[in-house]
Chain A
């Protein structure tokens, strides 16, 4: 259970991509470089020893770096792809991307949005929805992203703020602060207890597990009766906790499982209580 590949880099401009690539070339002599943002099917299993950092498919290919070592790693990457959900189209994109770079900066906005939305939906299906055929939930979300969590946190904050009758902006601020800082603190808690998780992957997962509570908040906003609200929030709270449980419990030593899980449940329960009480 060792997760060694946790370098989330998002280079976004040409010259800096070049320099960073040079740095990585200089640094990765004989160590095995496990890229963190590789295309999804080949994420955690590329033993790339000397080739430069293979960029995610939707980044522009820097013209100065030599394409040959990168291309030679792509067949290896494609060969070691496992059957990840929604992965087949990704393989096509990755090989295409590294042989003839698609211009993702000039593609239609609709394409970018559609790709991000598809990824959010597929991550959601992985994490939150009960699926008997899903892969081991402890290693969920190979292709984590932070758009989904951000969207759910903001949505939850907005819904709570809308439902509140007074001090709307303070309600939004409190909800956003609790959720965002809470996710970071929970991840740090697991790391401090000696658990093995990847920081941003954990943030992503905790954010996705908010989805049921966001749905519950929406329902409570539209519905006025307290009893129904309590029932709905309890159900969605149980759902959220169920979704988060396997991930957290497999990340720490079994003797400390309760220590790692309790703060997660505390956060979700406090959000649930917040949802019920705001009216």
Chain B
């Protein structure tokens, strides 16, 4: 109940005659204390995107050209990374289970197939863990090397780089159906290697733009390798 009274006091102190939370305290740019950290309005600038902007960024992430960094120069967004990762989690869990279903039905047609819920857990941990931890690690490493890196830009870039895995996982299943070819292992490997390369190249190009220094080349190369390792892990864990 004391908590309730504190809450009432806080609400009354903040209460303004006009509308909701996203409009109030736009001038409160407090990112340096707990109030800024916990209040919703300090994150609103990172979601200030329209549908066309997001679609545009997604398209430019599939074709690894230099354009992406210029597109997010002014306003890196966090909408893309969050929901691309969520979509990827869903796709991996759903299609991974569908894959085990097909395999089961082919090997023993009358057997019992069970939905493996652990795919959801693994997908969520791997994808969100990768999308959050790897950019953060690179941020700290780049700061250590003296380069000025922006954490939100790194999150944004890595998040969009994961997008290419979504059509890749879909096509691992439905591409063979389209062309009436049996989904063989070689197809899956080809698709995953293509997707992994595209994604790694995207990360490499954008990281090179961010760093612009040659003595951090091992760092950039390791980012490339990590992205490729993620692709391999996805293939081996979810689609084998």
The residues of A that contact B5 with a CB separation of less than 8 Å are 16, 19-20, 23
B205 at the interface (CB under 8 A from A): no
Within 8 A of A (CB), among B39-85: 40, 43-44, 46-52, 54, 79, 82-83
Q: Pick the interface stretch among B86-94, B208-216, B225-233.
A: B86-94
B21 at the interface (CB under 8 A from A): yes
Give Cα A256 to B112, complex, Å.
Answer: 44
- A255: nearest chain-B partner, CB-CB: B50
Give Cα A13 to B3, complex, Å.
Answer: 13
Chain A: number of interface residues, binned into ranges: 35 or more
Which one of B12, B52, B86, B116 contacts A266 once the chains associate, using CB atoms below 8 Å?
B86
Give Cα A177 to B44, complex, Å.
Answer: 25
Within 8 A of B (CB), among A178-221: 188-189, 191-199
Tell whether, in the assembled complex, residue A270 and residue B90 are in contact, meaning their CB atoms are under 8 Å apart: yes
Tell whether, in the assembled complex, residue A4 and residue B19 are in contact, meaning their CB atoms are under 8 Å apart: yes
Give Cα A279 to B83, complex, Å.
Answer: 28
CB distance from A199 to the nearest CB of B (A): 8
Cβ proximity bits B100-120 to A, threshold 8 Å, 1 near / 0 not: 010000000000101111101
Tell whether, in the assembled complex, residue B20 and residue A3 are in contact, meaning their CB atoms are under 8 Å apart: yes
Give Cα A262 to B55, complex, Å.
Answer: 12
The residues of A that contact B44 with a CB separation of less than 8 Å are 192, 194
Max chain B CB contacts within 10 Å: which of A165, A191, A269? A191
The residues of A that contact B40 with a CB separation of less than 8 Å are 188, 191-192
CB distance from A113 to the nearest CB of B (A): 25
Chain B: number of interface residues, binned into ranges: 35 or more
Cβ proximity bits A241-262 to B, threshold 8 Å, 1 near / 0 not: 0000000000001011111001
Give Cα A192 to B50, complex, Å.
Answer: 12
B1 at the interface (CB under 8 A from A): yes
CB distance from B170 to the nearest CB of A (A): 13
Within 8 A of B (CB), among A3-50: 3-4, 6-7, 9, 11, 13, 16, 19-20, 23-24, 27-28, 31-32
Tell whether, in the assembled complex, residue A192 and residue B12 are in contact, meaning their CB atoms are under 8 Å apart: no
- A30: nearest chain-B partner, CB-CB: B17
Give Cα A32 to B15, complex, Å.
Answer: 10
Tell whether, in the assembled complex, residue A277 and residue B115 are in contact, meaning their CB atoms are under 8 Å apart: yes
Tell whether, in the assembled complex, residue B20 and residue A4 are in contact, meaning their CB atoms are under 8 Å apart: yes
The residues of A that contact B30 with a CB separation of less than 8 Å are none
Which one of B15, B112, B120 contacts A27 once the chains associate, using CB atoms below 8 Å?
B15
Give Cα A65 to B48, complex, Å.
Answer: 46
Q: Hey, which bits of chain B sit against chain A, CB under 8 A?
A: 1, 4-5, 8-9, 11-13, 15-22, 40, 43-44, 46-52, 54, 79, 82-83, 86-87, 90, 94, 97-98, 101, 112, 114-118, 120-121
For this complex, 26 residue pairs linking A to B, each with C-beta atoms less than 8 Å apart, are A2-B18, A2-B20, A6-B20, A7-B11, A9-B4, A11-B4, A13-B1, A27-B15, A31-B16, A166-B114, A167-B117, A188-B40, A189-B47, A189-B82, A191-B40, A192-B40, A192-B43, A194-B48, A255-B51, A258-B51, A259-B49, A263-B86, A277-B97, A277-B98, A277-B101, A278-B115
Q: Hey, which bits of chain A sit against chain B, CB under 8 A?
A: 2-4, 6-7, 9, 11, 13, 16, 19-20, 23-24, 27-28, 31-32, 164-167, 170-171, 174, 188-189, 191-199, 253, 255-259, 262-263, 266, 269-270, 273, 277-279
Q: 7 smallest A-B Cβ distances: which pairs?
A: A2-B19, A27-B12, A192-B47, A255-B50, A258-B51, A16-B1, A277-B115
